[in-house]
Amino acid sequence: MTAPILTLVGRSSSHFTRVTRLFAQELGVAYTFHIVKDLRALESAAYSGNPALRLPSLIAPSGTWYGSLNICRELARHARTPRRVVWPEQLHGATLANVQELTLQAMATEVELIMNDAPQSALATKRRESLTGTLRWLDQNVDAVLEALPARDLSYLEVALYCLLTHLEFRQVLSTEPYEHLRRFAATFGERDSARATAFVFD
Ligand SMILES: N[C@@H](CCC(=O)N[C@@H](CS)C(=O)NCC(=O)O)C(=O)O
């Protein structure tokens, strides 16, 4: 058997990395997984050259792709069996587009809170408030949005939302207990083989 031509650079405990791993699993794309050991490393080389010092990245024959959306698109180009994927630009109307925006913003806010050395600061307090308000809003809108999504096998929105919700619990940033619509979505999505195969663990 030949080695995969793609290398994913990330961490098994990272929600942005899980988005890409879940996509790869759904699309049947093989890759070698290279783990970034230290998330506080200050050299871009530790993040396969990403000057923003972030993960994940995908090293492919076409180039090195930074960020989960770029990576998912490249994975889709490598899919053996094409699947119907809904991308962010296909989300029409304010509510659909806002769910996408708020999901990604909440993922970024969570990163900030985890990386923050001053959890009692005014900024951290604001970020926690932002996360709580966002989850409340997402909980009120998620059912209508799932209904309105175009016919699909997979959407970047649902994968990101699933990774956000499970990561909040995994890192104990915030309990999702009060958000019953979001929890129902996560429970249903979590039955996929791709979700089971990519559970968060610390490397
Ligand atoms: N826009 C990027 C965000 C990536 C990101 O924030 N990744 C986190 C790990 S889940 C990270 O690299 N954190 C390091 C840091 O904040 O310094 C994506 O979609 O992949």
Q: How far, in Å, CA of 76 to CA of 8, rounded?
A: 14
The residue contributing the CA closest to ligand 1 atom 11 is 54
Looking at residue 139, what is its pLDDT?
A: 98
Distance 17 CA to ligand 1 centre (A): 9
Q: What is the mean pLDDT of residues 133-152?
A: 97
14 lines ligand 1 (CB under 6 A): yes
Residue with CA at minimum distance from ligand 1 atom 1 = 67
Pair of tokens at residue 91: 């989300």
Q: What is the mean pLDDT of the chain?
A: 97
The mean per-residue pLDDT over the stretch 98-126 comes to 96
Domains of the chain, with CATH numbers? 7-83 (3.40.30.10), 85-195 (1.20.1050)
- Grouping H, G, I as helix, E, B as strand and the rest as coil, residue 126 is helix
pTM of full prediction above 0.95: yes
Query: The tokens 């990395």 sit on which residue?
Result: 17
Tokens 């649902």 -> residue:
158
Q: Is the dihedral angle over the CA atoms 99, 100, 106, 107 positive or is it negative? A: positive
Q: How large is the average pLDDT for residues 160-169? A: 98
> What are the DSSP calls for 10-59, one per residue?
E-TT-HHHHHHHHHHHHHT---EEEE---TT---GGGGTT-TT----EEE
User: Does ligand 1 have an atom closer than 6 angstroms to the CB of 46?
Assistant: no
pLDDT greater than 80 at residue 161: yes
How far, in Å, from the CA of 14 to the mean position of ligand 1?
8
User: Quick one: pLDDT at residue 1?
Assistant: 62
Assess whether pLDDT exceeds 80 at residue 57: yes
Please determine, for residue 2, whether its predicted confidence score (pLDDT) is greater than 80.
no
Average pLDDT over residues 151-170: 98
Q: Would the CB of 54 count as within 6 Å of ligand 1?
A: yes
Burial class (CB in 10 A: 0-12, 13-18, 19+), 37: exposed
pLDDT higher than threshold 90 for residue 3:
no
Contacts by residues 37-44 (CB-CB < 8 Å, ≥ 24 positions apart): 37/203, 39/11, 39/115
